[in-house]
Amino acid sequence: MKDKITYFGRIYCTLKSLLTGMSVTLKEFFTPKVTEQYPENRKTLKISERHRARLVMPHDEQGGNKCIACGLCQNACPNGSISITTKSVTDEETGKSKKVLVEYSYDLGCCMFCQLCVNACPKGAIEFSNDFENAVFDRNKLIQKLNK
C-alpha cells in the first residue's frame, strides 16, 4: 500500500499531519500552565487528586473505621511498611470469636507509594491523601499509627 502513495499525495499527507501536530501544540501554548510556585502559593496550592503522598485511614464521627483486620494490606505490601496488631474478641451475643484491630502501624519511610495496599483492601478502609509535607527530623516519627 505504501508504494501506491503518489508524490503529491505524500506531500498532502505530510502537511496534514504536521498541521495536526502544530494545532495540538498551539492549543497547549494558550492553556493555563500547570506549574505550581510552591512555597509562595502554599495557600492556593492545587495538587492532583490522584497524587499519593501518605497513607491514611479515614474515620467517621464516632471515631470508627472500616478496617476488619484481615491483613491483606500487610501481605500486599512489597516493602513491609505496614504491620497490623490484632486481638481476638468474643462476641457477647453469638459467642463467636472475632479479630479486632489493635494497632495499624505504617512506616512512611519504607513506603514506595505503589498503592497495592489500597487496591488489596476489601472494605476501602485505607487511602492515599494529598498531604505531602511529610518531612520530619527523626526517622522514628515516620512510623505512624493510623487507627485511633
Partner 1 sequence: MFDFSIITTAIDQFLRSLMPSAMAVFLECVLVAVCVIVAYVLLAIVMIFMERKVCAAFQCRLGPMRVGFWGLLQVFADVFKMIIKEIIHFKRTDNLLYNLAPYLVVLSSLLTFSCLPFARGLEVLDFNMGIFFVMATSSFGVLGIMLAGWSSNNKYSMIGAMRSGAQMVSYELSIGLSMLTLVALSGTMQLSEIVERQADTWFIFKGHLPALTAFIIYLIAGNAETNRGPFDLPEAESELTAGYHTEYSGMGFGFFYVAEFMNLFIVSGIASTLFLGGWMPLHIPGLDGFNAVMDFIPGIVWFMGKTFFVIWLLMWVKWTFPRLRIDQVITLEWKYLVPIGLINLLIMTLCVVMGWTL
Contacting partner 1 (CB under 8 A), which of 37, 62, 90, 94?
37
| CB count in 10 Å sphere of residue 146 | 21
By beta-carbon proximity to partner 1, the closer residue of 35 and 88 is 35
- With beta carbons less than 8 A apart as the criterion, state whether 74 and 48 touch: no
Question: Contact between 44 and partner 1 (CB under 8 A)?
Answer: no
Q: How far apart are CA 98 and CA 46, in angstroms?
A: 42
Q: How far apart are CA 50 and CA 43, in angstroms?
A: 20
**Binding region for partner 1 (CB under 8 A) out of 25-33, 57-65, 94-102, 116-124:** 25-33
Torsion, Cα 61 148 128 110, to 10 degrees, reads 180
Buried b (16+ CB within 10 A) or exposed e, 116-132: bbbebbeeebbebeeee
Helix (H, G, I), strand (E, B) or coil at 55: strand
By beta-carbon proximity to partner 1, the closer residue of 21 and 78 is 21
Question: Contact between 35 and partner 1 (CB under 8 A)?
Answer: yes
- Restricting to residues 84-113, which ones interact with partner 1 according to CB under 8 A? none
C-alpha cell at 6: 503518489
**Binding region for partner 1 (CB under 8 A) out of 27-35, 43-51, 52-60, 115-123:** 27-35
Contacting partner 1 (CB under 8 A), which of 1, 29, 91, 96?
29
**Binding region for partner 1 (CB under 8 A) out of 33-41, 104-112, 114-122, 133-141:** 33-41
Binding footprint of partner 1 on the chain (CB under 8 A): 11, 18, 21-22, 24-26, 28-29, 31, 33-35, 37
